[in-house]
Chain A
Amino acid sequence: MSLLTDQPTSSSPEPDLTSRGVSLRRRLTNHATSVVIALAILAAVIPLGLVVYQVVSRGSGMISLDFLNWDIPRNYRREGAGMGPAVLGTILITGAAALMAIPVGIAGAIYLNEFGKNKPLAKVIRTMADVMTGVPSIVMGLFIYIVWVLTTGKQSGFAGALALACLMLPIVIRSAEEMLKLVPDELRQASAALGSPQWKTILTVVLPSAASGITSGSLLAVARAAGETAPVVVTIGIAFSPNWNLFDGGNTTLAAQIYRNASMAFEPAQERAWGAALTLIAIVMIFTLAARFIASRYAVKER
């Protein structure tokens, strides 16, 4: 005791700047919070691991060339057979949605970044695009049902594509705008100095330099749309065999099949749901990883 109290007085009164100078209670609190915060990451890893493990272990037994090709059995109790129509439907419907949403989204982003900037209209559109991202997907499905299915009188793959396009549009606009922002103004000035009109500058100089970022943002939007279920379930009807026609007859997607089969109490239906889930996750992951690869591989060029 005396030794401890003597030391500061005998030597020069320098404060102890090492961690021993901090009281035990403060040090313990610091360590405890570090542990708690590091544990938070586990709370995200565990559900991710659980989902991936379950889907892979229960779904991989189902996956085969036949599963990806054959028709869906009309009777949910029947064993085996495939998800062919759903794979086809997912690709057709998501592809059609991407064809609609991506060009319009990029055009909208060009307006926001190249013409609108801080004009009131651009500010309103920016806010509304954010709001549109928050519109529940089921509401988007109802909307397309009302304006398209009720008008044409039938559910179709195209109606689902329209709903997905509406969901993708604000995501593409906002991510493409962020990418256009990164294009240095010097490029635009250089092009203008050479006498190009603005539309030519944008199409031949600005867009190509932002291309990688825009592509990766669009791929992420496609990945998300491929997994959307609620808007698809209410707009596309149902199909058990492949339907190449987006405008006529019902259709189906992997997501819709997972939903339908998962709510059935029959073992074969549930097995098909697991197989469909693995297929869907594989498709989504391919798009997500492609987006990340493009973004990281070509990111330097954007600076």
Chain B
Amino acid sequence: MTSLDSSPDSSQDRKIIGRGSLGDGVFKATVTSAAALVLVTLGLILVASVYQAWPALKHAGINFVIGDRWVPHEMIFGALPFIFGTAVTSIIALIFAVPIAIGIALFTTEYAPKWLRTPAITVIDLLAAIPSVVFGLVGILVVAPSAFTFYDSIHNAVGSIPLLGTLFGEPTTSGRTFFTAGIILAVMIIPIVTSISREVFSTVPEALKQASYALGSTRWEMIKGSVLPHSFGGLVGASMLGLGRAMGETIAVALVIGGATQITANLFDSGNTMAAVIVQQWGESSGVHTAGLVGIGVVLFGITVTINLLARVVVRRTEARMRGVGA
């Protein structure tokens, strides 16, 4: 492909030297099969999961994703409440996390003085290093119990306004709600959205920024006019990666969402998500119930993989385009 600038130890050169061809062959076969393991695993996940989930998927048919009742011992498999809960909690998480993450990324790339840059990045790294189950623990024992009064005062304030009254309805006394789960998820996805946003911002050509300053822009006008428009695609990709992470998060959500199987517009009510219901019901499941849970896993796998693929494509496109402009 790029034969001119490829390293000189490519296969043609090797033949001229005429040494090590057997060792190289064995070595190359070994490392290639190691890399191919990624493809094998992904393929196996799909095949094995669909095979295992088949009894439930076949029994429920299209109702598996549009049915709103989940009563496994009566062979009723409708996963819509869990799909709904996954969507709602992820959207809440994105609404909070994306502006904050973009703000942090801008702060570390454009605003922070040098001495503050490394500590700021370290904080984000540490946030990413905290295991999700610890967020869940703090969520269920600290955040949820104190959240009720907060939710209650919001409900009292806006409860009589038509649309807001529906969204912020009567809160569950445990504080384990869609909203609590969304907030915890937001904290958990801030690091990934921030780090991708930083990468995207770093590809904005310096010349563009300088040109904007030369025209008399303030710092904010420079960001609004040069940095943000050129990063837009990449930021969308970063948010989608965060969305993928939020949808797949299991343990923290399982602890704080309350575990009710229902579809409600009330964000202060209990619900469940696809990932959380699997781990909650796994212990007491058997037979076709297990198949149903694996089926939820298959749906979740499909959705998250699609979102991740799309996000990677978007981010790569932006970066490639930016590098082209910058060169």
Residues of A with Cβ closer than 8 Å to B? 21-22, 26-27, 29-30, 33-34, 36-41, 43-45, 47-48, 50-51, 54-55, 104-105, 107-112, 114-119, 121-122, 124-125, 127-140, 142-143, 146-147, 150, 166, 169-170, 173, 185, 188-189, 191-192, 195-202, 223-224, 226-230, 233-234, 255, 258-259, 262-263, 270, 273-274, 277, 280-281, 284-285, 288, 292
Is the pair A142, B127 in contact by a Cβ cutoff of 8 Å?
no
Contacting A230 at CB < 8 Å: which of B1, B140, B247, B279? B279
**Per-residue interface assignment for chain B, residues 137 to 161, with 1 indicating a CB less than 8 Å from any chain A CB and 0 otherwise:** 1101110000000000000000000
Contacts of A229 in B (CB 8 A): 131-133, 250-251
Shortest Cβ distance from B142 into A: residue = A54
Is the pair A48, B126 in contact by a Cβ cutoff of 8 Å?
yes
CB distance from A53 to the nearest CB of B (A): 10
Is the pair B39, A110 in contact by a Cβ cutoff of 8 Å?
no
Q: 9 smallest A-B Cβ distances: which pairs?
A: A197-B20, A227-B131, A136-B248, A40-B103, A134-B308, A107-B34, A199-B27, A108-B35, A230-B250
Q: For the complex, give the distance between the alpha carbons of A147 and B309 in Å.
A: 25
Is the pair B134, A111 in contact by a Cβ cutoff of 8 Å?
no
Is the pair A40, B104 in contact by a Cβ cutoff of 8 Å?
yes
Q: For the complex, give the distance between the alpha carbons of A26 and B221 in Å.
A: 8
**Per-residue interface assignment for chain B, residues 215 to 254, with 1 indicating a CB less than 8 Å from any chain A CB and 0 otherwise:** 0101111010000000000000000010011011111001
Q: For the complex, give the distance between the alpha carbons of A33 and B218 in Å.
A: 11
Shortest Cβ distance from B124 into A: residue = A44
Most chain A CB neighbours (cut-off 10 Å) among B1, B41, B255, B308: B41
Shortest Cβ distance from B134 into A: residue = A277
Is the pair A197, B24 in contact by a Cβ cutoff of 8 Å?
yes
Is the pair A197, B2 in contact by a Cβ cutoff of 8 Å?
no
CB distance from A93 to the nearest CB of B (A): 14
Contacts of B131 in A (CB 8 A): 226-229, 255, 280-281, 284
Residues of B with Cβ closer than 8 Å to A? 1-2, 6-9, 13-14, 17, 19-21, 23-24, 26-28, 30-32, 34-39, 41-42, 44-45, 48-49, 51-52, 99-104, 106-107, 111, 120, 123-127, 129-138, 140-142, 187, 190, 194, 216, 218-221, 223, 241, 244-245, 247-251, 254-255, 275, 278-279, 282, 293-294, 297, 300-301, 304-305, 307-309, 312
Known: A104-B34, A280-B131. Is A41-B297 also a contact (CB below 8 A)?
no
Contacting B38 at CB < 8 Å: which of A21, A150, A169? A169
CB < 8 Å A-B pair total: 293
Is the pair B221, A30 in contact by a Cβ cutoff of 8 Å?
yes
Contacts of B42 in A (CB 8 A): 128, 131-132, 135
Contacting A47 at CB < 8 Å: which of B101, B127, B141? B127
Shortest Cβ distance from A105 into B: residue = B34
Q: For the complex, give the distance between the alpha carbons of A117 and B129 in Å.
A: 31
Is the pair B49, A146 in contact by a Cβ cutoff of 8 Å?
yes
Is the pair A130, B308 in contact by a Cβ cutoff of 8 Å?
yes
Is the pair A128, B107 in contact by a Cβ cutoff of 8 Å?
no
Is the pair B132, A227 in contact by a Cβ cutoff of 8 Å?
yes
Q: For the complex, give the distance between the alpha carbons of A119 and B8 in Å.
A: 17
Contacting A136 at CB < 8 Å: which of B20, B124, B247? B247
Q: For the complex, give the distance between the alpha carbons of A143 and B305 in Å.
A: 15
Is the pair B297, A139 in contact by a Cβ cutoff of 8 Å?
yes
Is the pair A143, B37 in contact by a Cβ cutoff of 8 Å?
no
Q: For the complex, give the distance between the alpha carbons of A258 and B140 in Å.
A: 11
Is the pair A262, B137 in contact by a Cβ cutoff of 8 Å?
yes
Is the pair B28, A147 in contact by a Cβ cutoff of 8 Å?
no
Q: For the complex, give the distance between the alpha carbons of A127 and B142 in Å.
A: 40
Is the pair A263, B249 in contact by a Cβ cutoff of 8 Å?
no
Is the pair B248, A200 in contact by a Cβ cutoff of 8 Å?
no
Is the pair B275, A138 in contact by a Cβ cutoff of 8 Å?
yes
Known: A169-B38, A197-B20, A259-B255. Is A40-B99 also a contact (CB below 8 A)?
yes
Is the pair A198, B24 in contact by a Cβ cutoff of 8 Å?
yes
Is the pair B190, A44 in contact by a Cβ cutoff of 8 Å?
yes
